[in-house]
Amino acid sequence: MKLHALLIAGLTSSLLLVGCSGAPVQSTNAQDEVIDPTIQQVKLVEHEVVPQEAEVSKLIKVSGIGFGAESAYENVTRGQRRLMAIRASKLDAYRSLAEQLYGIKIDSNTSVSSLTAKSDSFRARVNAIVRGARVVSVTPLADRNYETVLEVFVDKDFFNNTFVYTNCPNGNCANNQSTVTDHPGTIGLK
């Protein structure tokens, strides 16, 4: 029976030693450490941070210049005439800015008789909302006139979304029928 217990103890201890022989050995000396190059490369890629490019929108400055003249109306004070001229120049600058941002609609009519133009008339209209514009300057000019400069910064995509000239993919309109749209703030084909 002692032999049997000794045999079991010997087998158990040998199994324990065999199990420990497959465990990795931790080296305390930096020179003894050998790292497989493929494992090292994987570790570097694992921790590598790849910066992503942030899409930066490009802003475009659009300016509008307007002019206003003092009225010759005698029943208002000089200060009132000056303020009304400045107000007129500011409104003209907004109109100019709206024309650049949203376009201008032109209605024209020409009458011809006996191959001669009898009358020619046109009307220009702007129908838009301008937000975010700032007054850059109000400058007095000669003869009691005033100049106002406005500016607004718009995203580059603003013009791509506002002016739709065609709904054809890649500009290929051979198979599509297009019609002109008439919406305030847009010019284009649909």
What span, in angstroms and rounded, lies between the C-alpha atoms of 149 and 97? 9
Q: Tell me the domain boundaries of the chain.
A: 59-109+120-162
72 has pLDDT over 70: yes
Q: How many Å separate Cα 118 from the centre of its chain? A: 49
What span, in angstroms and rounded, lies between the C-alpha atoms of 97 and 17? 88
25 has pLDDT over 90: no
pTM score: 0.55
What span, in angstroms and rounded, lies between the C-alpha atoms of 166 and 48? 45
What's the whole-number mean pLDDT along residues 117-125? 90
